[in-house]
Structures are given as C-alpha cells and as structure tokens.
Structure 1
Amino acid sequence: MTITIYHNPKCGTSRNTLEMIRKSGVEPEIIEYLKTPPSRDELVGLIARMGIPVRDLLRQKGTPYDELGLGEDKWSDDELVDFMMEHPILINRPIVVSDKGVRLCRPSEKVMDLLPGDIGTFTKEDGEVVASGAVND
C-alpha cells in the first residue's frame, strides 16, 4: 500500500498522524506542503476526493484567515482555493492519501480507516491513548 501525507512537522496532529501511519508498517511519502505546496489542480483534486466543501479545508489558527476576511461568506470556492495557493498555511493538515481514500485527518485517529490494518492502540504526544476502530467522524 502506498500512502502520502501532506505534512507540517510543526503540527502535533500531523506528527501523530505520521507516526500512526508508520506504526501500520508503511513508510509514507511525506510532502511538507509549506515547502512544496500542491499545484492548484492537485489541491482541487484532493478536495474533490475528500468530498468536503472547500471552506472545510481552510485553517484559521496561526494563519492570515482573519486578516484576509475569509470568515465572510462572500468568497467563491475558486477564490478560497486561490487564497490557499497564495498562502499554503491556510491549507488544513494533515491530508492523507492512501489506496483506501483521501481524508483530512483531524483528529489524527481519522487516519486509521486509511491504513492497511489495525494498529492496536496508539499514544498521542499529549498522552491520549486511541485504539483502532474508535474513530469519531
């Protein structure tokens, strides 16, 4: 199985997700999307494959979200994607692509449905213990 993670190593959720992938026995392709952002077509394709509204991929914390007025409903999906292309920090993370699908893995345990098998229990950086099959959507 091949897995790709759009990763920010400064993000605890992203680090936890990466470690869960590794615990499954897969070494993923790691794309540090702040250094190597996806192309516009790739980003639009990921959003479509996740089946989520564009707005659901926008990150607010630690980004220029408020300064750009992105909380207002006046922006089209194309304009929101344009903002993410201009400011990749606005792309929420981690996004994981596997043979089983594509998902924004927030919380990190959402990755478990994309892995090749059960990883048992996993202890997150904050000490929270999660178990395979205990994913809340």
Structure 2
Amino acid sequence: MTASTLWHNPRCSKSRETLALLQQRGVAPTVVEYLKAPPSVAELDRVLKLLGRAPRELMRTGEDEYAGVPADAGRAELIAYMVAHPKLIERPVFIHGKKAAVGRPPEAVLAIL
C-alpha cells in the first residue's frame, strides 16, 4: 500500500472536503495539521518538486504574511519563509507515494491515486 499524507487545515472547507473525498475512496492519509507542524525546508522543497511548482505558485498571496515576502527572493529564501510562516502554504496538499497534488478543487487529488 502506498503511503499518503495530507497537509490539512481543519478550518478550511476545501481541506475538509478533500479529506472526506479521500476517505470515501478508501484512502486513509496521515493527516498533518501543517499550521501546527509545518514541513521542514527539505520536505517542502521535495513536495514542490513533486508538484512541479515554484514556491510562489504554492503561496497564498492574500495572507497578511505575504506582504513580507521580498520581491526578489530566490527559491531557498521563499521556501524558508513559507516554513517560518506556514499560513502562506496553499492547502490542502496531498502526497501519495512519489506524487503530489493540491486539492483545489478537492477532486484534483484523485488524479494521483
């Protein structure tokens, strides 16, 4: 069985819908409340690579913390900033084996099962 993890925010409707959708499909991911237990720099870098996204493409630009992101920040600086301010990480992120998907819309995670 392939290991699965969901970076989850229980206050987010899309995150709750994604978790419910996975459970309906018989998938029981390890649920990580990433606001309480942010990913490490190495883990976030790995997941960004699995997603095929640059750090800014996984950032929630509407959050207040985004104002502190330097316009000229490089990849390593952006990842470190996201780890320090996990509220900036788009949610939910579903990691399944060597694939990852953002649950926006929630059904997007089904493509990697």
Q: Normalising to structure 1: TM-score of the pair? A: 0.75
Say if 1:37 and 1:88, in contact at 8 Å, map to a contact too. yes
Counterparts of 1:86 and 1:97, CA distance in 2: 21
SS at match of 1:59: coil
Say if 2:50 and 2:98, in contact at 8 Å, map to a contact too. no
Q: Normalising to structure 2: TM-score of the pair? A: 0.90
**Partner residue of 1:17?**
18
Amino acid at match of 2:72: K
Query: Please, which runs of 5 or more residues in structure 1 have no aligned partner?
Result: 116-137
SS at match of 1:10: coil
Counterparts of 1:55 and 1:9, CA distance in 2: 23
Aligned partner (choices 84, 93, 96) of residue 94 of structure 2: 96
1:100: how far off? Answer: 6.3
1:20: how far off? Answer: 0.7
Instruction: State the structure with bigger RCO (CA 8 A, min sep 6), 1 or 2.
Output: 2
Aligned-residue identity in percent: 38
SS at match of 1:64: helix
Counterparts of 1:111 and 1:20, CA distance in 2: 9
Root-mean-square deviation (Å): 1.5
1:109-124 map, 5 Å: 109-115=107-113
Say if 1:6 and 1:94, in contact at 8 Å, map to a contact too. yes
**Partner residue of 2:82?**
84
Aligned length: 112
1:63: how far off? Answer: 3.9
Higher-Rg member (1/2): 1
Say if 1:40 and 1:85, in contact at 8 Å, map to a contact too. yes
Structure holding more helix per residue: 2
SS at match of 2:60: coil
Q: 1:29 to 1:42 in 2, by over 3 A?
A: same
Counterparts of 2:65 and 2:57, CA distance in 1: 16
Amino acid at match of 1:31: V
Query: Please, which runs of 5 or more residues in structure 2 have no aligned partner?
Result: none
Asked if 1:36 corresponds to 2:51, the answer is no
1:75: how far off? Answer: 1.4
